[in-house]
Amino acid sequence: MTAMSREQQVSDVFVQVADSLIDDFDLIEFLEELCAHCVSLLDVSAAGILLANEQGLLHTVAASDENTHLLELFAVQHDQGPCLDCYRTRTARHNIDLRDTVSTGAWRAFAEHARGSGFQTSHVFPLRLRDRAVGAMNLFHTSRQSLSPQDASLAQALADVATIALLQQRDLGQEQREKTQLQHALSTRIVIEQAKGILAERWTGSPEAAYKALRAYARDQQLRVSHCARQIIDQTLDSDQIPHP
């Protein structure tokens, strides 16, 4: 990747954050694209983002691929993993060797599952604003690859950008508005997951392929992915209109 293309991608991320200040903004799609930017900009194999609901319980809302989404879901369901520790401590952690039983002792089941998914190294960054954490971002390598200090700084900046997009309400001091924004993101993720499952079953394919087809259709129609997902669930959109993967 050239320096110019890297700078352009970083610029694109910040432009998208500026766009989040308008009313018509799809938060889930932004976070999905942010995960893709992380993979490209930081030369990692995968990325995932977890958000906390009103009770402080984490949910997976975005990932660079279906495999990572399922791994993050495993972490949430078993209440263990570096991403959950990162959210609770509000502290970043780099270059976690998923094969090291000492460093992964508190969440060996997650580490084993991650290795089974092909990952050997992890890096986690909190999504935080001052002393408040709203989630965490997890980066994975399929090899024993370290994250340079420069890339770690950029990763935290991207996590901070995601936090800004999440808390883009004009008055961040209004706690209830913040909670509403986060809850809406979590509810939207549930709708998309349901639509993915419906399409995957109808087409006898994978959820990841179904999501890619749904997102491509939404973009072609200049609609939100969540809007099309809701139509799939409500049966107001004929799935035959969506080009099959």
Eight-state DSSP code of residue 45: S
The predicted-structure confidence for 45-90, as pLDDT tens digits, reads as follows 999 999 988 788 899 999 999 999 999 999 999 999 999 999 999 9
CA distances to 155, 168, 231 from 182, rounded to whole Å, are 21, 11, 22
For 136, the enclosing helix (H) or strand (E) is: strand 132-141
Per the CB < 8 A criterion, the answer to whether 161 and 14 are in contact is yes
Burial of 140 (0-12, 13-18, 19+ CB in 10 A): buried
Q: What is the assigned CATH class of domain 189-241?
A: mainly alpha
Query: What is the arithmetic mean of pLDDT over 188-198?
Result: 88
pTM as predicted: 0.70
Which CATH superfamily does the domain covering 3-168 fall into? GAF domain (3.30.450.40)
Polymer length in residues for the chain: 245
Q: Residue ranges per domain, the chain? A: 3-168, 189-241
| Reported confidence tier of residue 172, pLDDT bands at 50, 70, 90 | very low
Say if residue 237's pLDDT is above 70.
Answer: yes
Question: Rounded to whole angstroms, how far apart are CA atoms 243 and 240?
Answer: 7
CA distances to 3, 37, 220 from 28, rounded to whole Å, are 28, 14, 18
